[in-house]
Amino acid sequence: MGAPISRNMCCSIRDKDGFGKAFAQSPHFNCSEVELPLESPSLVAFSPLWAMGTRRLAVANAHTVHIYRMSDSGKFEMPTLESTLEMEDGFVITALIFRDEDTARAFVIASKPENRARGVNIKIWPCDAAPGVLETTQIAPRALQREGFIASLEEHVAPVTHLAVNSTYLFSCDSSGECRGWQKNRSMALRATARLHKGAVVDFAVDRHFVYSLGEEMNLRIWSTELKEVVVMPIGHVEASCLMGDMAAPVLSPPKGTDEKEAASSFQLSRLSALKRPVSRWSGGQAASGRGSTNTPRGLLFVAGVMAKGQSAAGENAAVLMEWTIAAAPVCQGAVIAHDVPIVTIAYGPFDNGPLITCDGRGLCRVWDCSPRLWCSQQIEASPGAPRSLAKVSVASDPLNCSLYSVAGEKRLLVWCQRGAGE
């Protein structure tokens, strides 16, 4: 298979930001492929993000997890398949994550039975070899035992769709809208339970102090880590004054027959599809200290919505990418028509200040600079030549190697490396 399509976007990008300063060079990527011995991979995770130590990448399809050991050379090298896990017959993997952000000692998977109503579970497996086993002598990957898990969490009834971690908790969210918080330093004791939305949770994120969730009822809700509601943000429309075009991807043409009367003051959304909470120093992450820092969320949130039918800004189902500043009174700082079909995944990094990556249901990924406003600097087809059907792209960030890794249902790992950082 050839290299993925990647090109820079020419979108009437301005040379100045209005204050006499030239824009910094946008963070472009070179992309290459690594063939995987795994059919139809759909989930990918990486750890640790910043701390030094053994670095691992987890890739999974519906029935199998592969754990890869990454090079510590400072540049990308072929990962080593270290261990594999085959799920019990009749079970399907629904979510994957490493237990911690600062170590790669254990990974977490959620699974559901294919043909039964009950049996949903979350299990945690160790990555390191058992005591007395010399990893340096390992020739073939270890086959992890199904009963070798170190924790099993079986409180959910509905299938678990999202997993997220911070330094203290593992959070799990299921298709009924129920969320549970498990305290990692207390043997994964259940510490909090709440129903976040009336229906399924569309997307989910956490930081040190707060939990963020999108619901089918067209709102974004912010919760404490004890799952007490803090803020409700209705997002059913985007103000016309927020919608940008000259520094973003080209605004899509409205459908033929659209009545082009005086521009509307706002454009209606039919649903919300994805969110991302950056938690770095330069992206407006939550303050680590100071009075009130744990009472009011602050910083940025990126939210993707879907344009409703009959809007003059773009055709039905076009993706709208919004940048929100959250504080005592959340404000939408700007929005762009980002894709012509809904965004299904938003990633951030691998740098402290971005970039932001959006992936739509056709496998098209766009790279966005966030300063001074959102503008598209590159686009990459994560699954070139594949059928243009709905397929979710899964992305993991590797800050140490300035890289991203993604899978999109094909038998390959797409490696995004910072341009100029070496092959």
pLDDT at 24: 42
Helices and strands (H, E) in the chain, number of each type: 0, 32
Tens of pLDDT, residues 278-332: 876 545 444 444 444 568 888 899 999 999 999 988 999 999 999 999 988 899 9
Residue type, 78: M
- Percentage of the chain with pLDDT > 70? 79
**Strands (E) located in 48-159:** 56-60, 64-69, 80-86, 91-98, 106-113, 121-126, 142-143, 151-153
Structure confidence by residue, pLDDT tens digits, 166-216: 999 999 999 999 999 999 999 999 999 999 999 899 999 999 999 999 999
- Rg of the chain over Cα atoms, rounded to whole angstroms, equals 21
Tokens (6 digits) for 372: 């001074």
Residue 263 has pLDDT above 90, yes or no: no
Widest pairwise Cα distance in the chain: 75
For position 248, what pLDDT does the model report?
Answer: 42
| 380-422: pLDDT as tens digits | 998 765 555 556 899 999 988 889 999 998 899 999 998 765 4
- Return d(Cα 318, Cα 301) in angstroms, integer: 20
Q: Measured between alpha carbons, how far apart are the two ends of the chain, in Å?
A: 18
Do 159 and 94 form a contact (C-beta atoms < 8 A)?
Answer: yes
Taking only the tens place, the pLDDT of each residue in 41-89 is 999 999 998 777 899 999 999 999 999 999 877 667 789 999 999 998 8
Query: What's the average model confidence in pLDDT over 234-250?
Result: 74
**What is the DSSP pairing of strand 237-239 with strand 219-224?**
unpaired
| Average model confidence (pLDDT) across the chain | 83
Q: pLDDT > 90: what percent of the chain?
A: 60
* pLDDT(27) > 70: no
pLDDT at 151: 96
12 or 374: which leads in pLDDT = 374
Nearest to 288 by CA among 163, 166, 164, 165: 166
What is residue 266's three-state secondary structure? strand
pLDDT at 105 over 90: yes
String of b and e for 317-337 (b: at least 16 CB within 10 Å)?
bbbbbbbbebeeebebebbbb
Tell me the C-alpha distance between 223 and 263, whole Å.
36
